[in-house]
Amino acid sequence: MLPEKLLGRVEYMENLAGNNYLVRIGFDKKVEYIPGQYASLKVAADGTRRSYSIASLPDENVIDLLVDVTPMGVGSKYILGLKVGDSVEVLAFLGRFTIDPLLLFEARHILFLATGTGIAPFKPMIEDLLYRKHFTNEVRLVWGMRHPEELYWLKELDNINRDFDNFKHDIVISKPTEGWPGFAGHVDTVVNRLEQDWTKTLVYLCGAPNMITEMEKNLKEKGVREEHIFYEKYF
């Protein structure tokens, strides 16, 4: 479908943790997109835009966005200034960071690697795979964050774990506080421990460009086929 300009309204906003905000935008009709796509928001009167992955499943009247306002540029300030009821101009839906259903036939493992709000497109992609497409091979998410106090969606991820034996998720903290019980370091800390048939693994990477560049090299060395690596760089 061609992207179109949609006028939405802020329905809900929540500070999830740290500098991370959930923004729910409502429309007067159901919106269709493929999990993994993003929307481009007009964030200034001069037409400046910023892109945000859609963090919720399609076929609803609302979309959720997950925004880290740490950069504090024009997009971050716009998001922080939004209030429930405000109008929002959205160019949607964009991007090819989606899962090709044909690849699912040969995939033994699907690995999602995120840093920060790079987890945004993965939540609907994983929910779509498991709850809607009934994919039964392994789905694994590795999520890198700086500090434990910035984490969110932990209950949501645990719920998916409870519902599906074939879903696993690991969190890696690069600046852990004392007593952090989980993995410390970067996403490769977890990925380097995995033993699997890398030639039958699809990998989706999203978030910090340097993580993506480094992991792409690492994954190719492990045997992941180039055409099985997909990424969305947040720059």
Binding mask 91-130 for ligand FAD (x = CB under 6 A): ----x---------------------x--x----------
Site for ligand FAD in 4-43 (CB under 6 A): 38
Nearest residue to 160 via CA among 143, 185, 181, 179:
143
139 near ligand FAD (CB under 6 A)? no
51 near ligand FAD (CB under 6 A)? yes
- The tokens of 97 are what? 């960071």
- Name the strand (E) or helix (H) holding 15: strand 4-17
71 near ligand FAD (CB under 6 A)? yes
Contact 134, 126 (CB under 8 A): no
- The tokens of 170 are what? 């690991």
In angstroms, what is the minimal distance from the CB of 186 to ligand FAD?
A: 16
In angstroms, what is the minimal distance from the CB of 97 to ligand FAD?
A: 7
Q: Which is nearer to ligand FAD, 66 or 92 (CB)?
A: 66
Contact range with ligand FAD by CB under 6 A, out of 73-81, 139-147, 150-158, 161-169: 73-81
Among 8, 35, 75, 124, binds ligand FAD (CB under 6 A): 75
Report the residue closest to ligand FAD, judged by CB.
73
Site of tokens 């405000």: 86
Contact range with ligand FAD by CB under 6 A, out of 1-9, 47-55, 132-140, 168-176: 47-55
CA distance to 15, 124, 136, 170, 226, per residue, from 194 (Å): 34, 24, 19, 12, 19
Is residue 39 exposed (0-12), middle (13-18) or buried (19+ Cβ within 10 Å)?
A: buried
Determine the residue type at 38.
Y
Contact 35, 125 (CB under 8 A): yes
Chain residues binding ligand FAD by CB under 6 A are 38, 50-53, 66-68, 70-76, 95, 117, 120, 232, 234-235
